[in-house]
Structure 1
Amino acid sequence: MVNLVENGAIVRSGRPIGLFGGGEISSEDVNLVLSRVTSAVAADSGAAALIDSGQIPDVVIGDFDSLAAEYRAQIPDDRLFPIHEQDSTDFDKALRSISAPVVLAAGFLGARVDHQLVAFNTLTRLQDRPCILLGACEIVFHTPPRINLELAAGETVSLFPLRRVTGRSDGLEWPIDDLVLEPDGRVGTSNRALGAFTLEVDGPGLLTILPRTALDQVTQAFLSGQTGRWPARAG
């Protein structure tokens, strides 16, 4: 069940929510996400990809400076939730307005590098809002306190810190134990899974990048509640 405008969140659900952006997104991406979620939320012009796929978004959130008039006219007024401040992106506005165990987000990777960077920034700032970004070949998510996954031996597991972080791993070719990862220092890209692996992180700020085929595993990990969850950042 999806509730709207409850306890400060515009959208609240106990199941995964789909979030769609106006960046690089294919009809395959739209259909893949829609088949796994209970509700479709658009961040401003992300509504266009949904409508082009035959789906009217349940909710549209943003400053509405990029949603073309012909698309906006097809959306009932009670599904439009404008947030007019210009200090954050539409992805930020939408993600902070969703309360769900995990958000599956398409249309935020690819195309412009600056848009990708700010999406990564948003993932780590809104650390209490688990979200998986879907790309053409990979998925990206903010690493929770702990996660257990299984990939084929040799598949890539990349770890990129946006803050100084430490942690432990089991089942990676190059363990991260006793390492300090930081954005202007050591990073953990192009590691490899040996099969089943575990990550434990001492604090928020680490992005995990996995093959796109891991989407369902990661989604189920967040739904299981066994990952733990970072608290909201103060301020």
Structure 2
Amino acid sequence: MSEIIVQTHTFLTLLGGGSTHFSHVKQALKIAPILVAADGGADTALAAGHMPDAVIGDMDSISDAARAQIDENHLHYIAEQDSTDFDKCLRSIDAPAILAVGFSGGRLDHQLAACTSLVKFPDKRVVMLSEEDLCFLSPLELALDLPTGTRISLYPMAELRGAGTGLRYPIDGLTMSPSTFVGTSNEVAGPVRLRFESRAMLVILPRDCLDVVLAAIT
């Protein structure tokens, strides 16, 4: 079992090294004021004017300049190379919810790996924020009250079935998987009430749905 490095009863912002606007970091910190950087995310934090409470990773991306500005007691080096820095952070953080910024911009392989991390750590309540969207791993039962017409996408990370109400295109009776049938570009048609047989469904919504999502998953 991995050691818990950061434990808090407050929502936490986890900042990666991917491209992101400083305004997005500021928005996340208003909701989740504890700031942890994943390796090179420390450079982004400092450039945005924020000192991270902790930096976690294999430290192959953080610059020497950033390292020199941060108290060495706040640098947590995890040497193994069998997991991503996002993985290392998620298994080392205990928080009611984590807003992950800087993990879904830039390189596509990094984005795909981040989506896999959401499924690998189902006990962590993580909302991954991008420029336009947010993404999270659905609980087995999910209730969302969103305006009619809101774009909602369901992306299965494994074969599974689900059911529910409130979608323009119902998913009842469908077997979904990343290689056969996915549920992208659906729309909200009423109160969304969904059930899934396993924890492998990613939900993607517009970024402005963040407050509703946090209320639903916490």
- What's the counterpart of residue 58 of structure 1? 53
- What's the counterpart of residue 140 of structure 2? 145
Aligned partner of 2:112 among 117, 142, 153: 117
Deviation at 1:190, TM superposition (A): 0.8
- What's the counterpart of residue 127 of structure 1? 122
Deviation at 1:219, TM superposition (A): 1.2
- What's the counterpart of residue 97 of structure 1? 92
Q: Which amino acid in the other structure matches residue 104 of structure 1?
A: L
Deviation at 1:49, TM superposition (A): 1.4
Aligned partner of 2:172 among 174, 177, 184: 177
- What's the counterpart of residue 195 of structure 2? 200
Deviation at 1:14, TM superposition (A): 2.2
Q: Which amino acid in the other structure matches residue 173 of structure 1?
A: R
With 66-75 and 47-56 compared, the bigger mean Cα shift is at: 47-56
How far, CA to CA, are the matches of 1:74 and 1:169 in structure 2?
A: 50
Deviation at 1:200, TM superposition (A): 1.5
Deviation at 1:191, TM superposition (A): 0.7
State whether residues 102 and 130 of structure 1, in contact with CA within 8 Å, keep that contact through their aligned partners in structure 2: yes
SS at match of 1:84: coil
SS at match of 1:101: coil
* TM-score, normalised relative to structure 1: 0.89
Q: Which amino acid in the other structure matches residue 155 of structure 1?
A: T
- What's the counterpart of residue 222 of structure 1? 217
- What's the counterpart of residue 87 of structure 1? 82
How far, CA to CA, are the matches of 1:195 and 1:50 in structure 2?
A: 39
The alignment of Structure 1 onto Structure 2 pairs a total of residues equal to: 217
Aligned partner of 1:186 among 171, 181, 185: 181
Q: Which amino acid in the other structure matches residue 202 of structure 1?
A: E
- What's the counterpart of residue 226 of structure 1? none
State whether residues 170 and 197 of structure 1, in contact with CA within 8 Å, keep that contact through their aligned partners in structure 2: yes
How far, CA to CA, are the matches of 2:190 and 2:96 in structure 1?
A: 26
Q: Which amino acid in the other structure matches residue 193 of structure 1?
A: V
* TM-score, normalised relative to structure 2: 0.96
How far, CA to CA, are the matches of 1:92 and 1:114 in structure 2?
A: 15
Q: Which amino acid in the other structure matches residue 66 of structure 1?
A: S
Aligned partner of 1:18 among 4, 9, 13: 13
How far, CA to CA, are the matches of 2:144 and 2:10 in structure 1?
A: 20
How far, CA to CA, are the matches of 1:17 and 1:178 in structure 2?
A: 37
How far, CA to CA, are the matches of 2:190 and 2:64 in structure 1?
A: 49
How far, CA to CA, are the matches of 2:160 and 2:59 in structure 1?
A: 36
Cα-to-partner distance string for 1:40-94 (whole Å, 9 max, x where unaligned): 0000010111111211100100000010000111110111110011111111111
Q: Which runs of 5+ in 1 are unaligned?
A: 1-6, 224-235
